[in-house]
């Protein structure tokens, strides 16, 4: 299974993948914009997956950007991290998933501090023919969002997997409980308890139909044995 992580800790989704208009007319947004609740220019950007840095320099409206090439499960992907304040890796460097590669910024054609993040199924190319919605692969489940309560497909799949695992654990616990109950020995009533039950029936306290019920039997027997006037010598047979 392809595994990408969100490149920003506790990210805020501020602009989705697809058509948008942010004051420059209708335009196609081939990635997502991620902001952070942390103020300032010190927000770290992490590699979404392990791979090789193939670009580490300013690039037109992207400003300072980093691109990482990934080979995952026999497939090629390329991620793009744009508008960085500072780049912390070099071209040709191999990075691990979760490794810091830069600092969030406002360089290039940006209107505020954020990260523009892209995932390409295949190599990055002009006009972005391989760009896909990053939310197909990353999860903001533990992050603050600005897109309401609607779950992304990635979040839905993550929740579904969590529920499946919990159901497996619940089934296993049920099996263990059943095995334990099967091994428990049935406690037989003492003779004095049988006498007590007969007395309850004779005096209309119980109909005497369930003397095998240990809890009820023990409770009633305890009550009678604590009361002198109901000791076993006075029981009516």
Domains assigned to the chain = 12-156 (2.70.70.10), 182-226 (no CATH)
pTM for this one?
Answer: 0.58
Q: List pLDDT tens digits, range 136-158.
A: 899 876 444 444 444 555 555 66
Q: List pLDDT tens digits, range 202-224.
A: 776 666 665 555 545 566 666 66
92 close to 61: Cβ distance less than 8 angstroms = no
Q: List pLDDT tens digits, range 59-115.
A: 988 999 999 999 998 999 999 999 999 999 999 999 999 999 999 999 988 888 899
Q: Residue 179: pLDDT band by 50, 70, 90 thresholds?
A: confident
CA distance 145 to 20: 18
Positive or negative, the Cα torsion across 220, 221, 225, 226? negative
Decide which of 127 and 200 is more confident: 127
* Res 71: pLDDT: 94
97 close to 47: Cβ distance less than 8 angstroms = yes
8-34 b/e with 16+ CB inside 10 Å = b?
A: beebbbbbbbeeeeeeeeeeebbbbbb
Weakest mean pLDDT among 35-39, 163-167, 177-181: 177-181
Locus of tokens 């960085």: 84
Q: List pLDDT tens digits, range 40-62.
A: 668 999 999 999 999 999 998 89
């Amino acid at each position: 299974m392809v595994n990408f992580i969100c490149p920003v800790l506790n990210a805020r989704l501020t602009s989705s993948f697809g058509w948008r208009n942010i004051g420059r007319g209708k335009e196609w947004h081939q990635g997502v914009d991620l902001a952070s609740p942390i103020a300032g220019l010190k927000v770290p950007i992490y590699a979404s997956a392990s791979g090789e840095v193939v670009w580490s320099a300013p690039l037109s409206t992207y400003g300072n950007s980093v691109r990482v090439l990934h080979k995952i499960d026999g497939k090629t992907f390329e991620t793009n991290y744009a508008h960085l304040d500072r780049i912390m890796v070099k071209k040709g460097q191999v990075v691990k998933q979760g490794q810091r590669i830069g600092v969030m910024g406002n360089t290039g054609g940006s209107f505020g501090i954020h990260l523009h993040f892209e995932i390409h199924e295949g190599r990055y190319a002009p006009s972005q023919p391989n760009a896909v919605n990053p939310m197909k692969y990353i999860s903001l489940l533990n992050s603050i969002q600005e897109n309401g309560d609607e779950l992304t497909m990635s979040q839905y799949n993550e929740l579904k997997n969590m529920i499946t695992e919990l159901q497996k654990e619940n089934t296993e616990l049920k099996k263990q409980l059943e095995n334990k109950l099967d091994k428990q020995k049935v406690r037989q009533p003492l003779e004095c308890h049988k006498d007590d039950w007969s007395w309850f029936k004779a005096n209309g306290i119980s109909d005497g139909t369930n003397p095998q019920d240990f809890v009820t039997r023990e409770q009633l027997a305890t009550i009678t044995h604590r009361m002198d006037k109901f000791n076993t010598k006075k029981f009516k047979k």
